[in-house]
Structure 1
């Protein structure tokens, strides 16, 4: 077994630097450093919760579609990130107040979730647990 201690960062390919940085700043991420976006190196952003994003670019294809989620053919790859929030009602209000489209939702057991998209159509799932955070995955077939 490999002794994994934590997730280090999440890498996302983006098209337009300023648009994506502004989006993730609204979600509470802080700009750390641009280590060469135009040459394919990341813009590093960090959330106070410890989540780190590497925004890679610039994307040069896609025509406004996410190839893993928006086309009929199903390619292998990471389809979304899921972040736990303390209150889904507050998260929904925040999304509405900032004109973020909620693109889906589901619930099972003590968990409810909503989905949003970043400016490059990368999927972000926001999860909230009604009681104690449980690892019960029964009911996951309800996941969109």
Structure 2
């Protein structure tokens, strides 16, 4: 088979998560993070998005109603990454988490991006981040991207608002 390179315009369109409690999940993704409810299928599934898209996140209880979280040390999704358009937008999200006293599990500067890490109520990992402009990304001498993990200056981030 010939080498194939996926088109550069390809994007991850949405993530669909199994949750134990639909209302609790909506409380996190809709009420805390600010996604809009697009449609709901009874008490079993909901589709939410930013900006009116058909859905960025699907939530369902089809196989997981009232189930415990998946074990941390098992195969599966590590985290869902939610990309904010600007650093200020990420700062607003952080302030909402702080105001709600919602626990944050980490915060990193990766050179190419700044990220805040947390878990949703079902212990699914969530990354909230913004990308620096590509021309600011750190590069190795050969031109490849040099990502790293340094502590994120949360006070500096909150200074954006």
- Assess same fold via TM > 0.5: yes
Note if 1:9 corresponds to 2:38.
no
Give unmatched runs, 5+ long, in structure 2: 140-144, 151-161
Q: Is 76-85 or 3-12 further displaced after alignment?
A: 3-12
1:79-123, Cα deviation, whole Å (9 max, x unpaired): 101122222433321210122211111113242211121111111
TM-score, length-normalised on structure 1? 0.73
Mapped partners of 1:120, 1:91: distance in 2: 20
Alignment correspondent of 1:61: 67
Which one has a bigger Cα radius of gyration?
2
Paired residues, what number? 131
Q: CA deviation at 1:43?
A: 1.5
Alignment correspondent of 2:146: 138
Q: Please, which of 52, 56, 59 is the counterpart of residue 56 of structure 2?
A: 52
Give unmatched runs, 5+ long, in structure 1: none
1:48-101, Cα deviation, whole Å (9 max, x unpaired): 274611101152432xx442xx3xx3x222210112222243332121012221
Mapped partners of 2:52, 2:80: distance in 1: 15
Alignment correspondent of 1:34: 40
User: Cα RMSD over matched residues?
Assistant: 2.8
Note if 1:90 corresponds to 2:92.
yes
TM-score, length-normalised on structure 2? 0.66
